[in-house]
Amino acid sequence: MQDNGYLDMFFDEAKEYVETLNNGILTLENNPGDKETIDAVFRAAHSLKGMAATMGFQNLTELTHKMENMLDRVRDGKLEVTTEFIDLLLQGLDNIQFLVEKIKENEGEEPEGINLEGFIQELANYGQQAAAVSESDAQNSSEKTAEEFSLNLTQVEKKELAKIKKDKERIYHLQVVLDEQDFQSVRAFMVLKKIEEVAKLFKSIPAKDKIEESEEPVSELDIYALSWLPAGEFKEELAEISGAEITNFTEIESLEMEEENKGDDSKSLHAEHKVNSFQSSSTVRVDISKLDTLMNMVGELLINKTRLQSLDIQKSKFNEIIPQLDRVTMELHHIVMQIRMVPVGVMFSRFPRMIRDLSNKMNKEIDFVMEGQETELDRSIIDELSDPLTHLLRNAIDHGIEKPEERKAKGKDEEGRIELKAYQKGSEIIIEVSDDGAGIDSDIIGRKAVEKGIVGEEELDQLERREILDFVFHPGFSTAAEVTDVSGRGVGMDIVRNVVKKLDGQISIDSELGKGSTFTISLPLTLAITQALMITVDGDTFAIPLNAVSETLTISPENIKKVRGKDVIVLRENTIPLVSASEIFGNKNLDSFKKSDSDLSVVILKSGDRYIGLIVEELLNQQEIVIKSLGNYLQDTEYISGATIIGDGDVALIIDVRDIVA
Amino acid sequence: METAQERLDLDKAKNQNNKKSGQAQYVVFNIGEEEYGIEIEYTREIIKSAQITNVPNTEEHVVGVINLRGIIVPVVDLHSRFEIDQDSGDFEEDEQRTITVEVNEMLLGIQVDHIEGIVWLEEDSITPAPDVESNLRQDYLRGVCARDEDHLLILLDLEKTLFT
């Protein structure tokens, strides 16, 4: 079992590097000569290797090392980027992912009995002709070992060293020789990492980032470090690393004593060997649960601010403070939201590879286009959304896009097109998955729905095309003539809809037979805080999220018409069905309102492109609410999606608009 | 201040709980005339009944939700579950309390008419509930314990009571 903090960091970073590798390799396939991409891919492989080595994952280290070598040869122009090369790299990437998964399952240890030697050998053999050259390189650098062991510090560095040295700290100067050819730079990296664990690394020659970037193997390290440990223990710590031997070791007792003859070249030395320690980064990794807590605190603050506002104190000081408090809380909220936002590209990046593999497997030609990767969404939404999108894309390949011959026969381009788009629309984020494939036949869907007893035959005639298409989201509905291992057995689409619903979003489908289908997912920008319209029903206060409110109006009971047995109102030539809020909460039905003399307050709700009029008792105000869950115990309550705390500390329930409009 | 005091007692009692073997502590309360007990491990705190917001379209025993320091907590009333008359029992309205319990990782409030206190019970003294014919309540019981003559304490199986 390894230290969990490091392990989590390893998994986090490994995931990022794998993504970088994935994107890079695919970009490389299209632009084989792109120097920047090669560099980026090389760096990712290299960093991954370094991490794997530090954590002691042997297979992973070797695998990434061999991939890195291949890439290095491309950089040097010794290898060409061919399809074979790309395939090999992608296979390597799969193996990396496989290993990382296994390590995760195995609680931080590389499981035994995984044999990747054959594959690693394959990587090593690929383009072997270049090997001879790198060997001679290594020899050149090992000549430097002969240099004598002297204090290689400039005046400036000595001063700095003296300044940061704490009272009981010792300054060690040591030389480490790395004896194995193959993993020298990895081992050098491990040595420095180890030193950073037990000491402060002041300076190393070559510097740590130089080792990372360098293509040449490092055979020797000259290190200056500050540590609390006595010399013996310090050396023991380093002895754990195999293949690295301490050849010289001194404790520097006094810095001034050795301040001779180094004066003139101090500046250039300093510039060349960058002081390694105490670099600070401008980004911080934060556990998402901490952000959740922060968000909750901001929510609490907001609730209390609203309570203060409702106090209605007529003092000039008070009236001065409130707008300021308002501004600060808003800003705070905004920043926390901002921190939680992640570009959807993070999630999208895995899809090109998936499409490539699937289309090859199914012999389909697909042009996959992504747009709006920079669109940002709350982290928690992104995490949930990846599976539904994967499912939709798989469906598009499996059921949507036709085989090339078929497309040709229909007069379409042989290459099908799948688009994945993300964009912001008002306070919502829209994600669209569309294909120019076969489309969905609503007649077939309708027939199936009748067959499966989802809908009656007479009922079906009443339904609009769109409502019929919606049956694909019904549990247990599948139209695929045969079940393939690519898209599921009809358990998929309803799960997709459930996930989207859980995120407070909606999914709709549009399809034209022969032309293709588009699935549109709309999601709220944020899950936690939203603007709401406050209303009352039978004396209780409720909140309706403002993004679901189209407008509010007052009607007189005579305005209510009957169409096909349903109560409706006609608004700007649109017929909008009416529902009594009191009735859905178990009280007064619509007829009792029709008999009343007084005017009725109606909130026009919209969900997707459907509208419904909700008769409420009273329209109150518009305010910002913090959405809180009702908890698992009441989670499935019909027509209620959550709760919020209002001015006086009371709880107001949030109306689930989708339940009403659906 | 009373709530804080009662909460403190709960915590203190819990700390002592594993000190005696073969015994366990129960929080004892009244619903109507009868006395019920639940294992102290489930309980979080005892609060004066707060303003309850009714939640429509829920089961009959769910009376609504309360705001417990910013957390929304569902509150159940066991009168209907146990088929007990709301006005039975001889308790004043201000004796009513809500015991918050954590069951299946959910925080819930149970409304009771009166808190009796915390008692130690010998595990041996708990007997299976007597078979009363066609009584729905049977499923909800963990057992009964005769505290003294003609004084029966009914021990609840909270998971079954709240989740079936």
Lowest average pLDDT, out of A193-202, A294-303, B17-26, goes to: B17-26
Using the predicted structure, report yes or no on whether residue B158 has a pLDDT greater than 80: yes
Higher pLDDT, B102 or A69: B102
How far is it, in rounded angstroms, from Cα A279 to Cα A266? 21
- Indicate whether A377 and A435 sit together in one domain: yes
Cβ contact A540–B70 (<8 Å): no
Assigned domain for A590 exists? yes
State whether residue A555 is helix, strand or coil: strand
How far is it, in rounded angstroms, from Cα A437 to Cα A440? 9
Assigned domain for A136 exists? no
Assigned domain for A131 exists? no
A618-626 and A640-645 as β-strands: parallel, antiparallel, unpaired? unpaired
Q: End-to-end distance of chain B based on CA atoms, in angstroms?
A: 35
Q: How far is CA A645 from the centre of its chain?
A: 31
Distance from CA of B71 to the nearest CA of A (A): 8
Higher pLDDT, A250 or A137: A250
Range of the domain at B131: 2-163
Of chain A, the percentage scoring pLDDT greater than 90 comes to 11
Average pLDDT over every residue of A620-644 = 85
**Among positive and negative, which fits the CA dihedral A456, A460, A462, A463?**
positive
Higher pLDDT, A356 or A205: A356
- Indicate whether A581 and A461 sit together in one domain: no
The total of structural domains in chain B comes to 1
Report yes or no: A628 at the B interface, CB cutoff 8 Å.
yes
Q: Which residues of A are catalytic?
A: 46, 68, 395
Compute how many other C-beta atoms are within 10 angstroms of the C-beta atom of residue A63. 25
How far is it, in rounded angstroms, from Cα A101 to Cα A57? 13
Compare CB distances from B74 to A296, A633, A649 and report the shortest one's residue: A633
Instruction: Give the model's pLDDT for residue A214.
Output: 66
- Indicate whether A112 and A151 sit together in one domain: no
How far is it, in rounded angstroms, from Cα A377 to Cα A369? 20
Residue window 266-305, chain A: list those with CB within 8 Å of chain B.
296, 299-300, 303
Q: Which two tokens stand for residue A535?
A: 């209303």
Using the predicted structure, report yes or no on whether residue A427 has a pLDDT greater than 70: no
Using the predicted structure, report yes or no on whether residue A603 has a pLDDT greater than 90: yes
Helices and strands (H and E) in chain A: how many:
24, 22
- Residue B110 near residue B99 (C-beta atoms within 8 A): yes
- Residue A192 near residue A277 (C-beta atoms within 8 A): no
Using the predicted structure, report yes or no on whether residue A141 has a pLDDT greater than 60: no
Higher pLDDT, A380 or A403: A403
Enumerate residues 6+ apart whose C-beta is below 8 A from A21.
A41, A44, A45, A48, A89, A93, A96
Using the predicted structure, report yes or no on whether residue A24 has a pLDDT greater than 50: yes
Instruction: Give the model's pLDDT for residue A445.
Output: 86
- Which residues in chain B touch residue A638, judged by CB atoms under 8 angstroms apart? 57
The total of structural domains in chain A comes to 5
Q: Which two tokens stand for residue A310?
A: 């409702």
Q: What is the pLDDT of residues A480-523, one digit of tens each?
A: 444 444 444 444 788 888 888 878 788 889 888 889 999 999 88
Average pLDDT over every residue of A250-265 = 56
The most confident of the ranges A159-173, A338-352, A406-420 is A406-420
* Inter-chain Cβ pairs, chain A and chain B, closer than 8 A: 70
Assigned domain for A519 exists? yes
Q: Which of A219, A203, A210 is nearest to A147 (CA)?
A: A219
Enumerate residues 6+ apart whose C-beta is below 8 A from A139.
none
CB burial class (10 A; 0-12, 13-18, 19+) of residue A313? exposed
- Indicate whether A122 and A148 sit together in one domain: no
- Indicate whether A360 and A337 sit together in one domain: no
Average pLDDT over every residue of A306-310 = 81
Q: Which of B162, B145, B160 is nearest to B26 (CA)?
A: B145
- Indicate whether A511 and A368 sit together in one domain: yes
Instruction: Give the model's pLDDT for residue A215.
Output: 63
Assigned domain for A417 exists? yes
Report yes or no: B159 at the A interface, CB cutoff 8 Å.
no
CATH of residue A392's domain is 3.30.565.10
- Residue A430 near residue A422 (C-beta atoms within 8 A): yes
- Indicate whether A31 and A110 sit together in one domain: yes
Mutation for B interface: A626, A627, A633, A639, most B CBs within 10 A: A633
Q: What is the pLDDT of residues A102-124, one digit of tens each?
A: 888 887 777 777 777 778 777 77
- Which residues in chain A touch residue B62, judged by CB atoms under 8 angstroms apart? 633-634
Report yes or no: A629 at the B interface, CB cutoff 8 Å.
yes
- Indicate whether A418 and A429 sit together in one domain: yes
Lowest average pLDDT, out of A6-15, A176-185, B50-59, goes to: A176-185
Instruction: Give the model's pLDDT for residue B8.
Output: 52
State whether residue A369 is helix, strand or coil: strand
CATH of residue A253's domain is 3.30.70.1110
Distance from CA of B55 to the nearest CA of A (A): 8
- Indicate whether A266 and A295 sit together in one domain: no
Using the predicted structure, report yes or no on whether residue A1 has a pLDDT greater than 50: no
How is A323-360 classified by DSSP, letter by letter? HHHHHHHHHHHHHHHHHHEEETHHHHTTHHHHHHHHHH
Assigned domain for A279 exists? no
Instruction: Give the model's pLDDT for residue A418.
Output: 94
Report yes or no: B59 at the A interface, CB cutoff 8 Å.
no
Range of the domain at A502: 344-524
Which of A524, A542, A565 is the C-terminal boundary of a domain? A524
Using alpha carbons, list the distances in angstroms from residue A324 to A299, A306, A315, A410, A531: 17, 13, 15, 65, 20
- Which residues in chain B touch residue A584, judged by CB atoms under 8 angstroms apart? 56-57
Higher pLDDT, A326 or A478: A326
Q: What is the pLDDT of residues A520-568, one digit of tens each?
A: 998 877 666 788 999 999 989 999 998 889 999 999 888 888 888 888 9
CATH of residue B109's domain is 2.40.50.180
Compute how many other C-beta atoms are within 10 angstroms of the C-beta atom of residue A54. 19
Cβ contact A631–B74 (<8 Å): yes
Compare CB distances from A540 to B53, B58, B108 and report the shortest one's residue: B53
What residue type is A560 in one-letter code? I
Higher pLDDT, A62 or A141: A62
- Residue A438 near residue A389 (C-beta atoms within 8 A): no
SS (H, E, C) chain B: CHHHHHHHHHHHHHHHHHHCCCEEEEEEEEECCEEEEEEHHHEEEEEECCCCECCCCCCCCEEEEEEECCEEEEEEEHHHHCCCCCCCCCCCHHHCEEEEEEECCEEEEEEECEEEEEEEEEHHHEECCCCCCCCHHHHHEEEEEEEECCEEEEEECHHHHHHC
CATH of residue A579's domain is 2.40.50.180
DSSP letter at A275? -
Instruction: Give the model's pLDDT for residue B27.
Output: 93
Distance from CA of A630 to the nearest CA of B (A): 6
How far is it, in rounded angstroms, from Cα A224 to Cα A207? 11
Q: How is chain A split among helix, strand and coil, in percent rounded to 5?
A: 50, 25, 30
Compute how many other C-beta atoms are within 10 angstroms of the C-beta atom of residue A541. 20
Higher pLDDT, A33 or B54: B54
Compute how many other C-beta atoms are within 10 angstroms of the C-beta atom of residue B118. 20
CATH of residue A316's domain is 1.10.287.560
Crossing angle of helices A83-105 and A117-125, in 10° steps, is: 150
Per DSSP, what are the bridge partners of residue A408?
none
Which of A342, A362, A385 is the C-terminal boundary of a domain? A342
- Which residues in chain B touch residue A583, judged by CB atoms under 8 angstroms apart? none
Using the predicted structure, report yes or no on whether residue A286 has a pLDDT greater than 50: yes
- Which residues in chain B touch residue A640, judged by CB atoms under 8 angstroms apart? 55-57
Distance from CA of B132 to the nearest CA of A (A): 30
How far is it, in rounded angstroms, from Cα A228 to Cα A164? 13
Q: Which two tokens stand for residue A190?
A: 């491990």
Using the predicted structure, report yes or no on whether residue A265 has a pLDDT greater than 80: no
How far is it, in rounded angstroms, from Cα A391 to Cα A491? 11
Of chain B, the percentage scoring pLDDT greater than 90 comes to 24
- Residue A615 near residue A538 (C-beta atoms within 8 A): no
pLDDT-derived band of residue A180, with 50, 70 and 90 as boundaries?
A: low
- Indicate whether A207 and A254 sit together in one domain: yes
- Indicate whether A167 and A184 sit together in one domain: yes
Cβ contact A634–B56 (<8 Å): no
Cβ contact B72–A651 (<8 Å): yes
- Indicate whether A565 and A499 sit together in one domain: no
CA R_g for chain B: 16
What residue type is A460 in one-letter code? L
Q: What ipTM does the predicted assembly reach?
A: 0.84
Q: End-to-end distance of chain A based on CA atoms, in angstroms?
A: 51
Compare CB distances from B67 to A296, A632, A649 and report the shortest one's residue: A649
Q: Give all strands (DSSP E) within A117-237, no chain letters.
A: 170-178, 200-205, 220-227
pLDDT-derived band of residue A20, with 50, 70 and 90 as boundaries?
A: confident
Average pLDDT over every residue of A350-365 = 88
Which of A126, A159, A181 is the C-terminal boundary of a domain? A126
Instruction: Give the model's pLDDT for residue A3.
Output: 55
Instruction: Give the model's pLDDT for residue B17.
Output: 61
Instruction: Give the model's pLDDT for residue A266.
Output: 44
Instruction: Give the model's pLDDT for residue A370.
Output: 92
